[in-house]
Amino acid sequence: MPKALITGITGQDGSYLAEFLIKQGYEVLGMVRRTSTINFDRIRHFQDRVTLVQGDLLDQVSLLNILEEHKPDEVYNLAAQSFVPTSWTQPVLTGEFTALGVTRILDAVRLVNPKIRFYQASSSEMFGKVREVPQSEATPFYPRSPYGVAKVYGHWITINYRESYDLYACSGILFNHESPRRGLEFVTHKITNAVARIKLGLDSELRLGNLDARRDWGYAPDYVRAMWLMLQQDAPDDYVIATGETHSVQEFCEEAFRFVDLDWREYVVQDERFMRPAEVDMLVGDPTKAGETLGWEPSVTFGDLVRLMVEADIEALKRNARVPHLDYA
Ligand code: NAP
Ligand code: G4F
């Protein structure tokens, strides 16, 4: 039975990847950091089928010990400070987790067992102020946030360790991917949660920042499949994972409100607080290489993604699930 370690198992992608790997017959280890209250909401429904181990990307010894004791065949490094605005208020911490954390885990792989196959969660945020449209593996980077800068470091250190130590290390340049498990601070879930609350009479407005920003939004379960495929090839490589379609934040709002028969213009208010010091205006990926080499393609359209997220939020509110309202994001 192959064994995989997932850092960031409590996050959106980590939870879907764990479920996917269990279905593929893997023994799954999930690294979790110590918190004063348990935050296993996304993994509770399969917690009995994974082994949770305590560790932190800030702590090198914890990483070495986990690899030595549990001997995984594959490591998926998904843990990061992943919210772009927080990277301006906590730039050093973001660099520690999202940049140097990658070196810590790569070094642990190199020292404990260089045969481990390694996946790094790189990001379309690295393209930032885009140099070409659409963005492919060959597009130069121009990051626009401390998060984007940290991800560029993580991307290049992964390639450097592959070339320096002959590791099977891959970097997936994933464009935005969403789901009902997405953190509420990200714009898609912020919108669908607000639409559900407004439809059920629990809220009356939605305050957003830049409505013109464009993203290439896909469905998270499709994207974790691509991570696994990258580690099953003859040779390690880097891949763009995207839908190839771009939509604005406003289009996302239009679609989400339309689904519940409401007009977005009556509820959406632009608020300076949610504008960023430097914006990534437009992202759209070219997933040709992933299609040709991995046989990967997305299965959920933009319209289906919006609808499945609105439906899930309405259902959660009807079940009285506690969906907190966030004021800072
Ligand atoms: P997420 O929901 O924010 O999850 C992040 C995970 O990292 C959580 O499990 C978190 O644990 C963990 N973590 C944070 N700091 C840690 C540390 N110091 N040590 C150990 N664990 C730590 O992110 P996601 O959306 O699943 O994204 C997964 C990865 O893909 C991230 O690296 C992200 O930057 C990258 N990415 C995401 C997208 C996207 O659209 N979702 C696109 C491109 C790249 P806690 O639960 O304890 O906070
Ligand atoms: O949903 P977002 O916060 O995602 P962002 O910044 O694109 O980052 C996400 O995708 C990256 C991949 O490209 C990941 F690497 C990263 O970890 C994360 O998962 O914002 C999307 C867009 C931005 O242009 C933002 O300015 O939505 C715009 N926006 C407008 N109003 C807003 C808001 N974003 C948020 N979070 N909240 C708003 O009120």
pLDDT digits (tens, 9 = 90+) for 305-329: 999 999 999 999 999 766 666 666 6
Q: Are 34 and 4 in contact (CB under 8 A)?
A: no
Sign of CA dihedral 91, 148, 110, 30: positive
Residue 320's pLDDT is 79
| Domain topology for 183-215+245-283+300-321 | UDP-galactose 4-epimerase; domain 1 (3.90.25)
Report, as an integer, the average pLDDT of 243-259: 98
Containing 60, the helix (H) or strand (E) segment is helix 60-70
Pocket test for ligand 2, best of 187, 250, 271, 282 (most atoms within 8 A of CB): 187
What's the mean per-residue pLDDT of the chain?
97
Q: What is the pLDDT of residue 195?
A: 98
What is the average pLDDT across 278-301? Answer: 98
Q: What confidence score (pLDDT) does residue 231 get?
A: 98
CA of 13 to the centre of ligand 1 (A): 7
> 56: number of CA atoms within 13 Å, CB side?
8
Bridge partners of residue 171, in order along the sequence: 120, 238
Residues of the chain with pLDDT > 70, as a percent, come to 97
Q: Boundaries of CATH 3.90.25.10 in the chain?
A: 183-215+245-283+300-321
pLDDT beyond 90 at 111: yes
* Cα(308)–Cα(300) distance, integer angstroms: 10
Give the per-residue pLDDT at 329: 66
Q: Is residue 9 very low, low, confident or very high in pLDDT (cuts 50, 70, 90)? A: very high
Best probe residue, ligand 2, of 129, 142, 186, 246 (max atoms within 8 Å of C-beta): 186
The confidence score (pLDDT) of residue 327 equals 65
pTM of the model as a whole: 0.98
Tell me, using a 6 A CB cutoff, whether residue 183 lines ligand 1: yes
Q: Angle, nearest 10°, between helix axes 60-70 and 101-112?
A: 40
Strands in the chain per DSSP E = 3-7, 27-32, 50-54, 74-77, 117-123, 168-174, 177-178, 206-208, 214-215, 218-219, 238-241, 247-248, 268-270
pLDDT of 256 higher than 70 = yes
Please name the residues in contact with 188: beta carbons below 8 A apart, sequence gap of 6 or more: 176, 178, 182, 217, 252, 305, 306, 309
State the span(s) of the chain assigned CATH 3.40.50.720.
3-177+217-241
**Which atom of ligand 1 sits closest to the CA of residue 57?**
19
pLDDT, one tens digit per residue, over 146-202 is: 999 999 999 999 999 999 999 999 999 999 999 999 999 999 999 999 999 999 999
Burial of 234: CB neighbours in 10 Å, binned 0-12, 13-18, 19+ = exposed
Cβ neighbours of 262 (radius 10 Å) = 14
Any atom of ligand 1 within 6 Å of the Cβ of 291: no
Quick one: what percent of the chain has pLDDT higher than 90?
97
CATH no., domain 3-177+217-241: 3.40.50.720
Q: Is the pLDDT of residue 303 over 70?
A: yes
3-class DSSP state of 102: helix
The answer to whether 328 and 251 are in contact (CB under 8 A) is no
Give distance in angstroms: CA of 77 to centre of ligand 1: 9
pLDDT tier, 212 (very low <50, low <70, confident <90, very high otherwise): very high
**Alpha carbon of 182 to ligand 1 centroid (Å):** 11
Q: What is the mean pLDDT of residues 210-233?
A: 98
